[in-house]
Every structure is written in structure tokens, then in C-alpha cells.
Amino acid sequence: MRFLASLAILMAASLSLVAVWNRRRRSARLRRLRQAWGHHPAEESDLESASLLYEAKNGEVAEVCYRLDDHTWDDLDFGALFSLIDRTSTPAGAQALYQLLRHPLLDAEALSRRDRLIEALRANQDLREEVQMALWPLEAEQTTYLPRALWSALPRKPAYAWVFPLLGVASFAAIVLVLFGSLNPLWLLALLVVDIVVHTLARRPWGAYFHAFGYLGALIGAADKLSASKHEELAAIRAALEENLSATRSIAKRIAWLQYRDEWGIRDYLDIFFMLDLSAFYSVAERIEKNIASLRALLETVGTLDALISVASLRTERQGRCQPEFSEDAHTYEATGLFDPLLADAVPNSLVFAPRSLLITGSNMAGKTTFLKTLGVNAILAQTIATVFGTRYAAPLVRVLSSIGRRDDLVEGKSYYMAELESVLGLIRASEEGGVHLFILDEIFRGTNSVERQAASVEVLRYLANGRDYVLVATHDLALCDLVAPTYANYHFQEQVKDDGLAFDYTLHAGPSTTRNAIALLGLVGYPESIVRNALSRIREDGPDLKAAAAPGSAGGRGAPGSRSGGLSEGPSPSFRGTLARGRGLRTAPARTEREHPRRGAPR
């Protein structure tokens, strides 16, 4: 009796210690969550792991969205934008966020529902922390591979699967008999060799994904907790979870052994000796296969909640943002105070698509390419996370395609020009399909000679201006301004000429550009003085039009080469460099350097 009483006291004390330990862990977890809220994490996002769900689904696209193509994703630096937005706590959340950014919505009501849930998670701390605590078990690194495990074809149960429990029992019996001296240890060694061979062959089809299946229990458990939430904001989520939990709850208990891990590898030896992992998995494999669609839906639903909490944290941190306004009137496209969230101290700009096609000109480094990316980025963010970095964004739902960054492809043997042709052809093909597009092009056909470039550019731009789609083009070719008018409205970025050089305001202005600065920049970066001087002399010899083009800040030849107002004919003067290094009431070139903004680079 005393023994039983002592045992009861010991058990009660142990349970009390476990309860205290769990409360402390929970308190510490909540403290970390609150400290991290509204702050960007110090560690870099793992883009390769985040893309696993997208890759596993192999381009699968729902009816209410479209797939953002790889070229546009790269053009607009969405890898860096993903890292900026990502504050997820689970691999499933990061994967859901990546999937969300790759599939902009084309349904205003679906976007409105998403926006309302993000705002609820941002404003309601109790709701947010309830979700975050439910997701805690899914933070394990092994859950990273759940998409590959769930979207891969399940291997067939081997015909010899009946031997797994038999070998497990035999191994246990052999160990007991050896310990009692009733069996020669060599028989145990032989049985161990058989265990290793069978275990290795049976595990081979699954590779690294086998342990991921162990976390199906954690996934189902997290979904179960969320489905019990009393918060009205999660009503739709609860219904979706409950629908998929009814057939999958039994899987969690039967596969729990696969989730257990230890630091010393004891679990691995137990699996080999007693076939515990194989017996556990194949006992429920048929049920997993039967309910694979429900398990996939649970992973996406739970991951999406973590992704939306990440967006809510971004909204808490970042100022100067707004929620987009989507109109069924496809003729209204206005954006006010837009800026690129990747750029520090970015200059806001506004535009109205009237008409639907705009041509932007300007000198080098003035900000044309940065502005193209700014509009493209915000158009996609508006239709993915219902967040725009600006003061107002009113637009129809569009499909964004770009042709900005092109380069030679040595692997496929493509020249720069061929890569450019294929990129622009993609926009042309898209324009022939239904829906409304936003086409963004930078320096079209710059990979070929000027005569053919201009002729082809005019025809392509006229073709894209079909009266349905929106087109935003940047170019250095000022002749295009007249050749595509009045279909395209003209805007430009400009620089100002000071006594000691150039300064940029990075602000969009109406009308075509009247300045160029290419030769001036030769001097800036350190080209020999003779090259700069002779280039300017060649312009003087080739006609008045080129003379005017060489005089920055002037449409009619003001600031002629050699004069102090131009300040550019004698190469890279120290005072000119100084202007670009110091602010004179305007934003100067180093405000957009590759060093300071490696994700974007300098405006062109």
C-alpha cells in the first residue's frame, strides 16, 4: 500500500512538473511572438524551400487566379519581395505565401475576403496568437517536405509487407533469448542483417520524404485546434477544416511514431530492429492515399493562415500603404503616390492611364526602369496580398506580364536578341487572349540595330495598344514619341543641370523627354577625357539634332559642349562627381546605387 501511495505521489509530482514546464514554454513562445510582431526577421528566407509547394503542384492554377510567369517574377524582383514579406513561422506558411504571390487573384470578392481576414489577424491579437500557437508543432524542419510527400505518387505497398511485423516480433524475441542465454548471439546478428536489408529496400522509394509523413499527425492536430476556434472571423476556415478533418483524424494517431525524433538516433535503431516506422506507415498507407485530397487541403489551409499573419505583420510595420480599389469599369486605372517597398527613401510617383498606353522617356539613371517595376510590383501585390505601397490604387483586375530584363542564355544557345524576341512574343500572344493585361516593356528590341529596332518597336507597340490592355513602355528612343502618338501618351523623367553636374528628382513629368546624358556619364565613371571630348565633337559634326541631344537639361542646344553650364565636355570633373555624391535639394545618383540596393540596382 505504501508503495502504491508513493508511486501515486511520484506520478502526481511528475505531472505537475510537466504542466509547469509546458506553461513556461507556452509563455516563452508567446513572448517571442509578441516581440517579433511587426518586425522583419533577421534571418534570410529560404526561397528554395518556400517554392516546394508551388513546384509540387506543377503549375496547377485555380479558376479565380492566374499564374505569374517566371520572367515577370524575375523582372520585378519578387524573390526579394518574398523575403521582405515573409515573417511566417512554419515551412507550410512560407510555402503558402510563395504560392499566393505566384497566383494573383482575378476575383474582387475573393480579394475582399482575404483582405478582411488579414485585417482581423492584424487587429485582433487574441485571434492571431491562437492561430500561431496552434501552428507551433508545424515549425519542425521536417515539415518542409510535406508538399513533395503529398503531391508525389504514393508507392505501392510491397508484397512482402506482411514480414515487417513478423521481423519486429522475431527481433524482440531474439534479444530476450540472448539476454537469458537461450540463443546464440550469432543468430541475433544474422537477424539484424536481415532487418537492415529489408528496412533499406522498403524505405528506398520514399527517400527523405518518409519522415515528413510523420508530421501528418502534427498537421491534423493543428487543423483540429483551429477548427475548434470560437472566433467568428475564422468561420469559413473552420468549415473548410472540418470538412477535411472528418476522414483524416484517425490517421494522426496511427502515424504518430514517425514524428518522434531524438538527438541520439535511438529511434533509428528501433526502426531497423523492430520495423516500427514501416509497420506504422503501411498500416495507414491505404487510408492516406484514399484521403490524399483532404490532407493536401489541410496543408494549404493551415499554411495560408500563417501566410496571412505574415502579411498582417508587414502591414503593421510598413507605413504609406493602402488597400486597393477594384472597379468593374475597365477604363479607370489610377495610382497615386506609388513607391517600391524594396527601396529605402523611395520617391513616390503617380499616373493615370489616359489613354491606356503610356510611353516614358528620360536619360540614363533618371528612374524609368524603377518606375516600371514599381507599378508592376504594386499591381501584383494588390491582387495577392491586397496591399499597395502608395496612397491610392484604383484599377481593374489585370494580368501582369513584363519584358524588362533580358540576357544571353548560354545553356540554351540563345543570343540576347533572341531572348528578347521570345519575351516580347509572349506579351503579343497574351494580348490575343481574353482578359485585361498590364504589359510592361523596357527598352524594346535594344539587342539589334537602330533602324530595324525602331521599325519593329513601332509595330509591336501599336499591336499591343488594342484598346483593351494597358501598356507601359520605357525607352531612350525619343523618335518613338511621335511615331506612336496619339495612341501612347508621353511622360518622362528628367535631370537638372547645375554648375557642377547633374541631379535627378526621380519624379514623373508629362510630355516627352528633352535631354540625354549618355556621354556625360562616360566622364562620370572615369572614361579617358579624349573619348568624351571626341564623342562630343562627333556630335557637333553630325548635325544640330545630335548637338541638342548631347546638351543635358536643354531641348534647344543650351549648355553646348565646352560651356560651364553643360559641365560635361572635359571629362569627369571632381565637382561633377561631387554633385552626384551630395544632395542639392534634389535626389542624386547615389540614392539608387547597387551597393545600397542590391535587390534592385540603380535606376536606368
375-402 residue pLDDT tens: 999 999 999 999 999 999 999 999 999 9
Question: Per-residue confidence at 500, pLDDT binned at 50, 70, 90?
Answer: low
Residue 554's pLDDT is what? 37
Task: For residues 415 and 591, give the distance between their C-alpha atoms in angstroms, rounded to a whole number.
Answer: 33
Q: What percent of the chain has pLDDT over 70?
A: 84
CA 68, 69, 72 angle in degrees (round to 5)? 90
Band (406; pLDDT cuts 50, 70, 90): low
Phi-psi map region of 454: left, alpha, beta (phi>0 left; psi -120 to 50 alpha) = alpha
The amino acid present at 75, given as its one-letter code, is D
pLDDT of residue 354: 87
pLDDT of amino acid 577: 40
pLDDT at 589 exceeding the cut of 60: no
Which residue has better confidence, 558 or 289? 289
Confidence band for 154, pLDDT divided at 50, 70 and 90: confident
Q: Strand 470-475 and strand 437-442: pairing?
A: parallel
Which grid cell is 27?
Answer: 509563455
The predicted pLDDT at position 257 comes to 63
| Single-letter amino acid, residue 82 | F
Give 256 or 505, the one with higher predicted confidence. 505
Is residue 160's pLDDT more than 70? yes
pLDDT band at 551 (very low <50, low <70, confident <90, very high): very low
Q: What is the fold, at CATH topology level, of the domain defined by 325-592?
A: Rossmann fold (3.40.50)
The reported pLDDT for the residue numbered 199 is: 84
What mean pLDDT is predicted for residues 290-296? Answer: 93
Mean pLDDT of the chain: 82
The Cα 452–Cα 458 span in angstroms is 10
Q: What is the reported pLDDT for 200?
A: 85
Q: How far is CA 575 from CA 564, 566, 570, 572, in A?
A: 12, 12, 12, 8
Q: By percentage, how much of the chain surpasses pLDDT 90?
A: 46
Residue 582's pLDDT band (cuts 50, 70, 90): very low
Tens-place pLDDT, residues 232-250: 999 999 999 999 998 888 8
pLDDT at 420: 85
Cβ atoms within 10 A of the Cβ of 581, count? Answer: 11
| Confidence (pTM) | 0.81
Q: Which of 25-34, 276-285, 319-328 is least confident?
A: 276-285
Averaging pLDDT over each range in 17-21, 103-107, 207-211, 361-365, which range is the top one?
A: 103-107
Q: Using 50, 70 and 90 to split pLDDT, how confident is the model at 497?
A: low
Q: Is the pLDDT of residue 434 over 90?
A: no
Task: Over range 145-172, report the average pLDDT.
Answer: 85
According to the model, what pLDDT value does residue 258 have?
Answer: 64
Q: Is the pLDDT of residue 583 over 70?
A: no
Please tell me what DSSP assigns to residue 587.
Answer: B
| b/e map 81-96, b = 16+ CB within 10 Å | bbbbbbbbbbbbbbbb
Residue 134 predicted with pLDDT over 90? yes
Confidence of residue 298 (pLDDT cuts 50, 70, 90): very high
Question: Confidence band (pLDDT; 50, 70, 90) for 557?
Answer: very low
Q: What is the pLDDT of residue 501?
A: 63
Residue showing cell 556621354: 519
**pLDDT band at residue 567 under the 50/70/90 scheme:** very low
Look at residues 510, 535, 527, 505 and name the one whose alpha carbon lies nearest to residue 573.
Answer: 527
Domain regions of the chain by residue span: 146-302, 325-592
The residue among 550 and 176 whose pLDDT is bigger is: 176
Quick one: pLDDT band at residue 578, thresholds 50, 70, 90? very low
